[in-house]
Amino acid sequence: MLKINDIYPKIISKENLYHAAYMAAKARRYTDAVSGFNFHLEAEIDKIHGELREKTYNHGQYRVFTVYDPKQRKIAAAPFKDRVVHHAVHDVIEPLMDKTFIYHSFACRKNKGTHKAIDWAQKFLRLNAFCFHGDIKKYFFSIDRGILKNILRERIEDKDLLWLLGEIIDSAAYAEEQKGLPIGNLTSQFFANLYLNELDYFVKFDLGARFYVRYMDDFLIFENDREKLVEFKAGIRNFLKMKLALCLHEGKSQIYNTGKGIKFLGFRIFKNHRRLVTDNVRRFKKKIKKFGYLLGNGKIGEGKIRDSVRCWVAHSSYANTNGLRLNIFNQLTKRDERFGSLVKDVLLPGDEVRNGRKGWGGGVMTNLWDRLVQVWWMAGFREVEDKSEIASSALRASSQ
């Protein structure tokens, strides 16, 4: 493997730092910290450049807070100056490191993401009878910083860059001893993905698993032989413990029959369709209820509500959710007709979906038979046992 070298001058160049400041300010442009930094932008960039050049840079203190939905997590927010440094480092080394990642690693990578991970999981599910769903216990808080630095040393020769990466890694605000990365950093996401790249190579090349998908610490292995998955699980448990000082979450890491569907990244995936998990729907309904209260008291604008609903619809449309969205709309309208009218055109399927030009379920149907049956179901609700009659009924309905 060709090691990265002589790249530190590019990272600390003013041109890269200005770009990093722009990227770090996205979606935060009007906060006090960002506005203050940008007001003195030239002076701030000169200061960061000087500290990095002279290696006098010290990472600032994090602001630590707790979120409780979907589960309790401690989040660490770095000062804006440090977020600029994070971007400066990440945006230069990430494209170089990414070339060493396996294809089916989908977290925090360009042209990857949750939806592509789900697509591949569904493809592999169709080919196999069993699936091992692996999850790592308290992953971010369990990453051994010493092991992470060794992984970086195997890939980087540039001593100045290794010094800066060490400053960022050791800036963890609430880590015990040598373990833990702060959740919330751009660099933490990258380091966490790199850390489990070691697992990817073990699974693909040592165990020889063909059907493997990973999204951060959530991963799937598919096989037709259940006993082979039992062996894989034992090998992975040992590798994680001995090489990465990590533990499988034994309660969540189980082998499943793919015929019953698998839960992955907020969806339950079946061979020919997908559903949103119950927790996702519950959280959305809770948020909508809160929006109704805030709107009634003049504490939120209609545009912000519509934008939030639109984001959820964009995500949920990757599953078969037209019926679910109609049900939610009906519940909203019964409770508050004005609020239902506000989100109707955002929440309900558009005309193109109803007319079949995008496919029932937001364009994710993978099977013509499913499409025909659903159009037939919309058109008549009749019990027909003969499949040819269902198909002809469906086609007649879709042409009307």
Confidence (pLDDT) at 173: 58
Confidence (pLDDT) at 63: 86
Confidence (pLDDT) at 15: 97
List of long-range contacts for 113-122, beta carbons under 8 Å, 24+ apart: 114/215, 114/265, 114/266, 115/318, 117/213, 117/215, 117/264, 117/265, 118/264, 118/265, 118/267, 118/269, 118/274, 118/318, 120/213, 121/213, 121/220, 121/262, 121/264, 121/269, 122/269, 122/271, 122/274, 122/366
User: Which pair of tokens denotes residue 264?
Assistant: 């992955």
pTM: 0.81
Handedness of CA 379, 382, 385, 389 (dihedral sign): negative
Confidence (pLDDT) at 30: 64
Confidence (pLDDT) at 350: 62
- Residue pair 274/265 in contact (Cβ under 8 Å)? The answer is no
Q: Which helix (H) or strand (E) holds 24?
A: helix 14-25
- Residue pair 98/109 in contact (Cβ under 8 Å)? The answer is yes
pLDDT in tens, the chain (400 residues): 678 999 999 999 999 999 999 999 986 766 778 888 988 999 999 999 999 999 999 999 888 888 876 677 888 889 999 999 999 999 999 999 999 999 999 999 999 999 999 999 999 999 999 999 999 999 999 999 999 999 999 999 999 999 999 999 988 755 556 788 888 889 999 999 999 999 999 999 999 999 999 999 999 999 999 999 999 999 999 999 999 999 999 999 999 999 999 999 999 999 999 999 988 888 888 888 888 888 888 888 888 889 989 988 988 888 888 888 888 888 888 888 888 888 888 888 764 334 333 333 434 333 443 444 344 333 443 333 343 344 444 334 333 3
User: Which pair of tokens denotes residue 2?
Assistant: 């060709």
Residues 6+ apart with CB under 8 A from 101: 109, 193, 197, 200
Residues 6+ apart with CB under 8 A from 70: 279, 283
